[in-house]
Amino acid sequence: MLLKIIDAAADILVSGGLTDWTVERVARRAGCAKGLVHYHHSSKSELLARVAERIAQRRHKRRLDALAVGGPPSIDRLWIDLSDEVKSGESAAWLALLSLPDPRVRESTSVRTDEVEALGRAAVEAFGIEGTVAEVGRLLETVTNGTQVALVRGDDRALVQEAYHRFWLGLLA
């Protein structure tokens, strides 16, 4: 039931943002009593922190899966995944979580060193990129997040995609 509550809370955040997000709606979506949500999560901020962790895990896994394809197809796969996250509302939900001043949520949205290194390692293995896995991972974390911010903001998609591909050309040249 715990994971069902977290997934319900994430679904509501992705589909409606923070303005539509309430513990009562989470309980209805999870098919449980509001008291059960409070039993598993002592506060709204604790539940939002768990949602942030869940979304972060999914985002990280998709990036690693895209890079695991290897070579140029992984660049296209990563672009598709980034675009799909924007279309689904997950990127906007992630940005909303990043904007919250709550310390629990902030901690949950912080990128962990092991995740950065895993991303860097995947890129180094996929392309033979020079540099430490931490440097490459941080660079990819920054570029993928920046790409999504531009798309969420409504920047011209073709221009954002061109900048994304120029980044990869520069990195791999």
The pLDDT of residue 131 is 85
CATH topology of domain 2-172: Tetracycline Repressor; domain 2 (1.10.357)
The pLDDT of residue 130 is 84
Q: Which residues of the chain have pLDDT under 70?
A: none
Question: What amino acid occupies position 142?
Answer: T
For the chain, domain boundaries: 2-172
pTM (predicted TM-score): 0.91
What is the Cα–Cα distance from 2 to 116, expressed in whole angstroms? 27
Q: What tens digit of pLDDT does each residue of 52-86 get?
A: 999 999 999 999 999 999 999 999 999 999 999 99
CB 88 within 8 A of CB 14: yes
